[in-house]
Amino acid sequence: MTYDFAKIEKKWQDIWDKENTFAAKNDYSLKKYYALVEFPYPSGQGLHVGHPRSYTALDIVARKRRLEGYNVLYPMGWDAFGLPTENFAIKNHIHPEIVTEKNVARFKSQLKSLGLSFDWNREINTTDPGYYHWTQWIFLQLFKKGLAYKKEMAVNWCTSCKCVLANEEVVNGVCERCGSEVVHKKKSQWMLKITAYADRLIDDLDDVDYINPVKIQQRNWIGRSHGAEVTFTTTQGDDLVIYTTRPDTLFGATYMVIAPEHPIIEKYKDVLTNYDEVKSYQDAAAKKSDFERAEVNKDKTGVQLQGVRAINPVNNKEIPIFVSDYVLMSYGTGAIMAVPAHDTRDYEFAKTFDLPIIEVVAGGDITKEAFTDCATGTMVNSGMLDGLSVEEAKVKIVDWLKENGKGEPKVNFKLRDWVFARQRYWGEPIPIVHCEHCGAVPIPEDQLPLKLPEVESYEPTQDGESPLANLPEFVNTTCPVCGRPAKRETDTMPQWAGSSWYFLRYCDPHNVNALAAKEALDYWLPVDWYNGGMEHTTLHLLYSRFWHKFLYDIGVVSCKEPYQKRTSHGMILGENGEKMSKSRGNVVNPDDIVKEYGADTMRLYEMFIGDFEKAAPWSSASIKGCKRFLDRVWNLQNSVIDQDGYRKEVESEMHKTIKKVSEDIENLKFNTALAAMMSLLNVITATDGITKGELKAFLIMLNPFAPHITEEIYQQVGFEGMLNQQSWVTYDEAKCKDSQVEIAVQVNGKIRDKIVIDAESSKEDALNAAKSSEKVAASMDGKQIVKEIYVSGKLVNIVVK
């Protein structure tokens, strides 16, 4: 019988489809497991070989859990709003809805061809009005709680997409999507107050099981910093408040720096004798991104304010004030005290401008570089703080500042509120009406969903308004409060909206009365295991945690965190270790692999390719190896011994492999789980045939990885029922030990031979076996034995004289 994978795989996919094999049950008395992968953006390129790495991994987990008796939810859907589709639609004059439909159909058939056990009854699409109804509903709840607000602000403006970008979408000063220049532009924007959740987003990380890099990145991104605000005064008698994390270094402040946008500059327009110079520095700074300005290694520039100085509250010393772009207006108070002896950027600035550097923490060599270590230094040149450690000095100086009304402790965050609007067509309309009398008014919930109107052209207007602004029949409406003529909001929501709550919809995807029934949410949540890309750590993952916490606060969900466990897969690279990309011509199409080798080989290969969390280059040779393994598995059918249980010669190998595979799957070590099954196969094929008991256990273990071939063999051999309905295999810890072990035999500490004995051998048996070795006997040479040592399972040492 040949292994006709194309036929076998199609056969089982049809059966699974027809029998709804992987449907999650709505029986809330069962023990549940919710496995989740990030739903894809259905791009025009179709599935990438990177997608199945994540999907197969959690498919393995989902299939294992079903075999373990869980009611498993493993769903899939489409994150389908967004720019690429919209840009394609504009270019080719096809409605984005049609583009989306086509892309989704392609993705879906590709995913089905991989035999992934998704519950397709729960498929969702963020562009479906029945779905975005609830995205809009959540927005309205945020609005009602004051967490969605409009603000005039400088926004990142992509000169090519003609679109406002979130800070996260600006990479090294250019647009993340198209690579064009990003400039600052003033615009009134919808914002979401994610900062109100900053503390909880950090603190609750302690309660979830995320891989460490994810926790670290989120903590850094939120950037909670503990410090103090200190009030300096100017020689004009005004307060100038700075934020510092090192109030202990106050005696080392030799100058002050304010951000170019600091309001005191305008206030001192007439005081400053070099106002024009300051002004032109300000204009130059406005052209740079915060990212460029904050760069540690860049050359320090600045201008000293002439005509005014600052007074340090701890010692009343007068110090110069500079304006420099390395201080950002958007952080802290937009002003700092500069302590060049202990801060790297201040140090460089002081060197550039030839400013004094006063050491206040002893322990480094400040003639060479700033001494920034807080743990080991001792305070010097600091009056009342001299002799203290940094930690002690911080406490003492903050107390002093509080008592003297010169400062107080302060916690700051790097996290900014979320710009929640795009001036584009292909997104969820924001369900707000602007009325001259009533202001921004939410549309009544019974008018949701507010559907995207049909438009002729999807291009944003040249002044950057959304294409919806060109549709009077959409824009002009009446105010839901006073009934007077009013105008609809024309901005749409950003791409990240629909994905911020999609895992909730899977719990009850067809509900028309609520985003999901409470009991469905209570049963399925939290997601037990969520796998996705590292690149989403500070965007989607953080946004969805924020929305979930908000929904918790208003009673929609009952758990504080959406995801109990979060893991992340490494990227799959081209053959030479470069990123796969069209321009490099090294993109591997999953369809080709499935066609040539079959889905089971493709799945196996993607799991075998390397450590799951690390990037891995594609290797065609290694695919062939996986295919050969499956060919050998297929041939096991030819030598089945009609007998249950495991034979003595393979028993311990069976138990060891079951243990290893069971544990490795939980620890994301899919590659070593497969390696263990490969060596088990070697052990089995070295014997005469395979018993039914061994074959069944082997098939169950391999089933989550290679579901089609295992199901087919199971049927061919004549086992009862379907393989996926069986129970996961168990092992006996005691039998995981090798029955025989090789031990070294030493005579007077020198190895003379290696012998194989029963692992359970007693000391006496081991010694007898050792002494019956000819080499050992020869080296003992009839001498008298003075000592005999047996280290169980490892060695025998005989001391002779």
As annotated, the binding site includes: 582
Task: Work out what residue 752 binds among ligand ANZ, Zn ion, none; the CB cut-off runs from 5 to 8 Å by kind.
Answer: none
Range list of H helices, 580-646: 590-597, 599-608, 620-635
Within 13 Å, how many C-alpha atoms sit on residue 502's CB side?
Answer: 27
Query: What residues from 385 to 424 belong to the interface with ligand ANZ (CB under 6 A)?
Result: 412
Specify binding-site residues for ATP: 582
Cβ 667 to Zn ion, closest distance in Å?
59
Site for ligand ANZ in 244-263 (CB under 6 A): 244-246, 249
Q: How many CB atoms lie within 10 A of CB 405?
A: 9
Q: Is there a contact between 452 and 429 (Cβ–Cβ < 8 Å)?
A: yes
- Strand 255-258 and strand 318-323: the pairing is parallel
| Per CB under 6 A, 342 contacts ligand ANZ | yes
Token code pair at residue 89: 């639609």
Q: Tell me the C-alpha distance between 148 and 145, whole Å.
A: 8
- Does the protein bind ligand ANZ through residue 231 (CB under 6 A)? no
Q: Which stretch binds ligand ANZ (CB under 6 A): 307-315, 339-347, 568-576, 791-799?
A: 339-347
Q: How far is the CB of 487 from Zn ion (least distance, A)?
A: 11
Q: Which does 438 bind (CB under 5 to 8 A by kind): Zn ion, ligand ANZ, none?
A: Zn ion
* Of residues 210-229, those binding ligand ANZ (CB under 6 A): 225
Cα 204 → chain centroid:
16
Here the tokens at position 649 are 């010669």
In whole angstroms, the minimum distance from the beta carbon of 341 to ligand ANZ comes to: 7
Residues 196, 211, 438, 559: which binds Zn ion (CB under 5 A)? 438
Kind and range of the H or E run holding 713? helix 707-717
Residue 482 touches which member of Zn ion, ligand ANZ, none, C-beta under 5-8 Å by kind: Zn ion
- Among positions 23, 328, 455, 722, the unique one binding ligand ANZ when judged by CB under 6 A: 328
Among 332, 407, 467, 509, contact with ligand ANZ (rule: CB under 6 A): 332
User: No. of H helices and E strands in the chain?
Assistant: 25, 34
SS (H, E, C) 147-159: CEEEEEEEEEEEC
Distance, in Å, from the CA atom of 693 to the CA atom of 708, rounded to the nearest integer, reads 20
Applying CB under 5 A, which of residues 60, 116, 435, 542 lies at the interface with Zn ion? 435
Burial zone of 541 (CB within 10 Å; 0-12 exposed, 13-18 middle, 19+ buried): buried
Ramachandran angles phi, psi of 592, nearest 5°? -65, -40
Instruction: Confirm or reject binding of residue 230 to ligand ANZ (CB under 6 A).
Output: no
Closest residue by Cα to residue 97 from 78, 80, 77, 109: 80
Amino acid at 309: R
Which parts of 482-541 interact with Zn ion (CB under 5 A)? 482
- Number of residues near ligand ANZ (by CB under 6 A): 17
Of ligand ANZ, Zn ion, none, which one sits near residue 435, judging by CB under 5 to 8 A according to partner kind? Zn ion
Question: Residues 387, 47: contact at Cβ < 8 Å?
Answer: no
Q: Which stretch binds Zn ion (CB under 5 A): 437-445, 554-562, 746-754, 755-763?
A: 437-445
Closest separation in Å from C-beta 438 to Zn ion: 3
**Residue 313 or 704 with smaller CB distance to ligand ANZ:** 313
Span of 162-170, 331-339, 454-462, 739-747 interacting with ligand ANZ by CB under 6 A: 331-339
Buried b (16+ CB within 10 A) or exposed e, 284-322: ebeebbbeebeeeeeebbbbbbeebbbbbbbeeeebbbb
Q: Please give the Cα distance from 169 to 734 (Å, whole number).
A: 55
Decide whether 125 or 244 has the Cβ nearer to ligand ANZ.
Answer: 244
Output 360 or 433, the one with its CB closest to ligand ANZ.
360
Q: Between 344 and 619, whose beta carbon lies closer to ligand ANZ?
A: 344
What is the C-alpha end-to-end distance of the chain, expressed in Å? Answer: 66
Q: How far is the CB of 473 from Zn ion (least distance, A)?
A: 20
Instruction: For ligand ANZ, give the closer residue by CB, 252 or 429.
Output: 252
Mapped to the 3 state alphabet, what secondary structure does 364-404 carry? CCCCCCCCCCCCCCEECCCHHHCCCEHHHHHHHHHHHHHHC
Partner in contact with 380, chosen from Zn ion, ligand ANZ, none, beta carbon below 5 to 8 Å by kind: none
Q: How far is the CB of 289 from Zn ion (least distance, A)?
A: 39
Residues in contact with ligand ANZ by CB under 6 A are 225, 243-246, 249, 327-328, 331-332, 334, 336-337, 339, 342-343, 412
Residues in contact with Zn ion by CB under 5 A are 435, 437-438, 479, 481-482
